[in-house]
Each structure stands twice: as C-alpha cells, then as structure tokens.
Amino acid sequence: MSLEHNTSFVLKYGSLIGIAAVAVGVMMHLFDLVDAGAVMTAGIAVIVLTPFAGMIVSFATLSMGRERRYAAAALALILITVAGMFIAFWLQNNG
C-alpha cells in the first residue's frame, strides 16, 4: 500500500476511535454511569497520540519502500517527539 493510504488510514480511524470514546464518556457522564472521566480521558489520549502513530506508520512504510532519506526524516521527527515527551515528563516531576 502507499504511504498516503497507510498514514491516512491511521489518522482517520485513530481520530474516529478517539472521538467515539469521548462521546461515549460524555453519554456515560450524562447518565451518571461509572468512570465516565476515564473513558473521556482515554479518548483524548487516543486523539493526541494519533498523529504520533501516523509518524510511526509513515516511517515503517518509507523504510519498507527503501526511501532512506524520507525514512530518516520521519525517524528524526519520532525521536524529537519522544525526547520532548521525556523532557516534559521530567520537568513536570522535577521542575
């Protein structure tokens, strides 16, 4: 499959799953069902992490297609994002 197809698949369905989880959480909250906040939080996490998953799929697709330069750029973005997450986590706990 193509890079565009694989990446758009992850972005489209990741967003839909996240939005559905948030919607279910809102409905659970409206009817006072247990742990609605956890469901909404999980949905938001899916929405936030979906672009990162798209980068990983892009890297994998580019690597399999032997597009070394673009795969290296995708890997650099992944590493920068992971480094940023670790720095933010460290600052939150130690800053």
From first to last of its 95 residues, the chain has per-residue pLDDT tens of 688 898 999 999 999 999 999 999 999 999 988 888 999 999 999 999 999 999 999 999 999 988 899 999 999 999 999 999 999 999 999 86
Query: What are the residue boundaries of the structural domains of the chain, listed by start?
Result: 3-94
Distance CA 29, CA 36 (A): 5
Q: What is the pLDDT of residue 75?
A: 95
Q: What is the pLDDT of residue 53?
A: 94
Contact in structure between 32 and 10 (CB atoms under 8 Å):
no
pTM of the model: 0.79
Q: What is the pLDDT of residue 95?
A: 67
